Amino acid sequence: MQNIDTIYINGRFETPHGTELMTLIDPVTEQEAARVRLADEVDARRAIAAAKAAYQALSGATREERMAWLQRLHEVVAAAEDELTAQMIEEYGGPVRFSRPTARRAAASFASARALLADYQFERQIASARVRMEPLGVAGLITPWNANYGFICSKLSMAIASGSTAVIKPSELSARQTALLTRILDRADLPPGLFNIVTGRGDTVGAEFTRHPDVAKISFTGSTAVGKTIMRGAADTMKRVTLELGGKSPTILLDDADFAKAMPFAAAAATMNSGQACLAGTRLLVPRARIDEAHALIVAAFESFRVGDPRDPETHIGPMVTRTQYERVQAYIRKGLEEGAQLLTGGPGRPEHLGAGYFVKPTVFGMVRNDMTIAREEIFGPVLSVIAYEDEEEAIALANDTVYGLHAYVFSGDVARANRVARRIQAGRVFINGLYDEPLAPFGGFKQSGLGREFGIFGFETYLEPKALLGYEQSL
């Protein structure tokens, strides 16, 4: 069993002041896999002090120096892609087809932040004012368990590019991935205190970051419930907050779409990262006149997915991260049945061919009404609700009838029509006739899916504060 008993402060691995021990369970075997000594508020305060001192010490660093730091981070993370992938599969059960791109994207985020920094205009003239974009100071980065490396690296890359320093609180459920990533980031040999990594609980370390007066910004990815707690907690010190929260994203099949072509995309959108994805398309909106055809195709797609060993390249769906998450998904499946949805495939329990592990059956419900619990709440597992609509207006109304607004997917035989519909969806991103990856496009949510944006120029500027200088060229 692995023992994790260090945190990373001021460029050194240290034993935490916190003494709580947490056991991590392997989601495939259900055996104990690691014991983690969790950091506490004292550790959080020490990390913040180190980041504050580093911010002052490094404030004179040039653009070229920061670009060199980002380049080194890119190189060390890229060189460790195999190790990172293996650890993500082992700790989290992420299928290799998802885990490898996550590790790759983590490395790429440093390269794209470096490219952004190379061209960014920190000063510009706006009418008579000289406007300077200034770094915020210490950024608190709080991340979830469902793509540990990706979130840590993308937030850290932006903090460093902006001129800030960082304190990072990854999910306690990803402690093994974080321990490996920390060792890898340390290989870049960056100035001490530039980034500090403190694995502990949210209500101790995360709450301390949120209330501490020396933290200028929180960038949080996680659940909407915790996002609201952070927003309230950050108000006292008027922190800048970026919140990337949950979703209940619609996939709209318009009545002129080729369902045979669209359905593999719709099924993949619903089940990416074993369904544990904020942007999963978990409500499939289908024209009532073509509902039987849609049911047959989506069931066939779900039944073709291999569930099981995440190391197998053919595996599409791995286990849920913890027993709690498994139970939560099971409870939603039972709720769907109680509320009268029609079970088309899947259902309660573990797939029959698997003897252990937090695996759930890929599940599709038909005859779902948009006011049912399974259509309103984020399940975070491979469970899809098919909802029938009469016409395009109703499809758009149903798509928007949710407290969330992170993502949407639209499929049509007529791309101009798909674009028209996409423009009317209240969501931070809409994919049209396919699944895409554009790391420079803004990412984030409308409504209760969050606040602010990450990635590219929109994400970068959330780490900067504009300062207007008037009379810039005025001598007395």
Q: Which amino acid is at 426?
A: Q
Single-letter amino acid, residue 134: E
* Inter-residue contact 393 to 435 (CB < 8 Å): no
Alpha-helix residue ranges (DSSP H) falling in 305-358: 323-338
Q: Which backbone phi and psi does 468 adopt, to 5 degrees? A: -95, 125
**φ/ψ bin of 423: left (φ > 0), alpha (ψ from -120 to 50), beta (otherwise):** alpha
Q: Which two tokens stand for residue 206?
A: 């995360």
What b/e sequence results for 4-28 when a residue is b if at least 16 CB atoms lie within 10 Å of its CB, and e otherwise?
Answer: bebbbbbbeebebebeeebebbbbb
The two structure tokens encoding residue 248: 């209940």
Token representation of residue 182:
């920390």
Cβ proximity to ligand NAD: between 225 and 260 the closer is 225
Token output for 393:
């207006």
Q: Which is nearer to ligand NAD, 23 or 128 (CB)?
A: 23
How many CA atoms lie less than 13 Å away from 194 in the CB half-sphere? 24
Q: Which is nearer to ligand NAD, 17 or 211 (CB)?
A: 211
Which residue's beta carbon is nearest to the bound ligand NAD? 202
Exposed, middle or buried: residue 149 (CB in 10 Å: 0-12, 13-18, 19+)? buried
Among residues 263 and 379, whose Cβ is nearest to ligand NAD? Answer: 379
DSSP label at residue 357 = S
Q: Are strands 195-197 and 165-169 parallel, antiparallel or unpaired?
A: parallel
Residues contributing to the site for ligand NAD (CB under 6 A): 142-146, 169, 171-172, 201-203, 206-207, 210, 221-223, 226, 229-230, 244-247, 278, 378, 380, 406, 445, 450
Catalytic residues: 244, 278
Q: Tally Cβ neighbours within 10 Å of residue 401.
A: 16
Nearer to ligand NAD, 381 or 445 (CB): 445
Q: 345 vs 448, which CB is nearer to ligand NAD?
A: 448
- Tell me how far apart the alpha carbons of residues 65 and 123 are, in angstroms, rounded to a whole number: 19
Nearest to 94 by CA among 146, 134, 52: 146
- Count of alpha carbons within 13 Å of 341, Cβ hemisphere only? 29
Contact 210, 140 (CB under 8 A): yes
Q: How far apart are CA 43 and CA 48, in angstroms?
A: 9
User: Strand 464-470 to strand 21-25: parallel, antiparallel, or no bridges (unpaired)?
Assistant: unpaired
CA distance 270 to 317: 11
- Residue 135 or residue 206: which is nearer to ligand NAD going by CB? 206
Token pair belonging to 429: 């991103």
By residue count, the chain amounts to 476
Say if residues 244 and 454 touch (Cβ distance below 8 Å).
yes
Q: Which two tokens stand for residue 325?
A: 């998450």
User: Is 245 or 285 the residue whose CB approaches ligand NAD more closely?
Assistant: 245
